[in-house]
Amino acid sequence: MIRGPRTLFGRLVAILLCGLVAAQALTFGLLWYERMTASRTMMYAYMGRDVASSVAMLERLPAGERAAWLAMLERRNYHYRLGVPLGRRGPAAPDDAAAASVARWLGPRYRVDVAATAPDGPRRLVVDLRDGTPLAIEFAPAGMPLAQWLPALLLAQLGVLGLSCWLAVRVATRPLARLAQAAEALSPARAAAPVPEEGPAEVAQAARSFNAMQARIARHLQERTRMLAAIAHDLQTPVTRMRLRTELMDDETERDRWQADLAAMQALIKEGIAYARSAHAAAEPAVRFDPDALLDAVVADYADAGRAVSLHGTVGQPLVSRPQALRRIVTNLVDNALKFAGAADIVAGLTNGGVTIAVLDRGPGIPAGQLHAVLQPFYRLEDSRNAETGGSGLGLAIAQELAEGIGAVLTLSNRAEGGLRAQVTLPPAQGQAAAKGD
């Protein structure tokens, strides 16, 4: 089964080009047929008049001199035979244009018959002179002469048509391609520029609708952040009051339980705000910084807090990205590793021109079927991680949002020796841009 082009550009080019080629071929065929018909009609008319003149000349010549004149009467596509055996002959068909033209010019005094010939041989008309001598006119319709430059002209026309078709479709579909690219790049974590509202009226309308949709999404995300911030602000006051009241409780066991619940509530509020704000990581400007120094600072902070975090490998070159967002990604991954494994190893390096930062732990890992699900907000692994220390389920979701915001990719995988590998890969373009700036 023959399949056509998959892209809209290719399909439009194929349809228009095939249509233009078919129209060109049809036009050429009609012109060729009309020219052949007109040429044949003119040839038969000239042939009838010329045969009538030749017969009148032969009638006036003595019988012995007629054969000498036949060579001078010949034409390019027909010639005369005098007194040769003709075999079977009969009247011409009513639609025989050649015989009708000859008969019309000769007049009613002569009868024009058709002699039988081979199917692939020349046709033969027979006229009896007044003395009974048969005169045969053998002819074959001349082919249409074809100029040598005509094929080259037709190819040039097809080339011009193809180029014009390609250019027209490209101009018409370029706004659609930009719209598709903008739709693919649309993300709550990235601030996208409006799509140019140009091109055909339908495409421009689609671009305006897309820009309006993009603006509504941005407003919705901003409203979500403001709403969560307002909720967190309003909840802080009653939570603080409740903490103060618990301090006055005489029962220490009950007081500790209340304070633990209030601390968990405050932590959940802070993580919710962090997740909402993570969708706006693109608001931070991209700058040139040293990723090795950033990782050293992160490890030093954990070391000061007495946490088992180590750094292995180096990037070895500056990076153009958003350092604060990257720092939050790494710290979230390290906190997740510390929570479930008690220790974390950070491994940095270069792969295919890109920058990779991996956080390794020796914890229980994550079931393979849930490696993608844990990146969703509020998702917890009750059966494979400790439910009491499982947190709110927002740590990895925040890291995922921030990674998308800086154009990185966060991937989770289980290690063969046990534990989880959380790796952030920045695209090669960022590493190459940084290398060019050295």
Q: Which segments in the chain show pLDDT lower than 70?
A: 1-4, 8, 84-87, 116, 118-121, 141-147, 185-192, 199, 225, 229, 233, 267-283, 353, 378-394, 428-438
Give the per-residue pLDDT at 142.
56
Q: Is residue 15 part of a domain?
A: yes
Give the per-residue pLDDT at 87.
63
Q: Is residue 65 part of a domain?
A: yes
The residue out of 114, 139, 164 marking a domain boundary is: 139
Q: Taking Cα atoms as reference points, which of 344, 353, 343, 345 lies closest to residue 315? A: 353
Give the per-residue pLDDT at 60.
87
Q: Is residue 12 part of a domain?
A: yes
Host domain of residue 39: 8-139
Q: Taking Cα atoms as reference points, which of 133, 118, 145 lies closest to residue 80? A: 133
Give the per-residue pLDDT at 436.
45
Kindly report the CATH number assigned to the domain that includes residue 407: 3.30.565.10
Q: Is residue 377 part of a domain?
A: yes
Give the per-residue pLDDT at 44.
78
Residue with tokens 């994550």: 366
Half-sphere exposure of 419 (CA within 13 A, CB side): 19
> Which DSSP string corresponds to 74-121?
--SSEEEEES----SEEEPPTT-HHHHHHHHHH-TTS-EEEE---TTS
340 φ, ψ (degrees, to nearest 5): -110, -10
| Number of domains within the chain | 2
The residue out of 121, 139, 157 marking a domain boundary is: 139
Q: Is residue 241 part of a domain?
A: no
Q: Give, for 289, the enclosing helix (H) or strand (E).
A: strand 287-289
Give the per-residue pLDDT at 140.
72
Give the per-residue pLDDT at 384.
42
Query: Tokens in use for 197?
Result: 């509202």
Give the per-residue pLDDT at 348.
92
The residue out of 97, 124, 139 marking a domain boundary is: 139
Q: Give, for 170, the enclosing helix (H) or strand (E).
A: helix 149-185
> Which DSSP string corresponds to 48-73?
HHHHHHHHHHHHHS-GGGHHHHHHHH
CB atoms within 10 A of CB 106: 18
Q: Is residue 310 part of a domain?
A: yes
Q: Is residue 154 part of a domain?
A: no
Q: Is residue 228 part of a domain?
A: no
Query: Tokens in use for 266?
Result: 């405050």
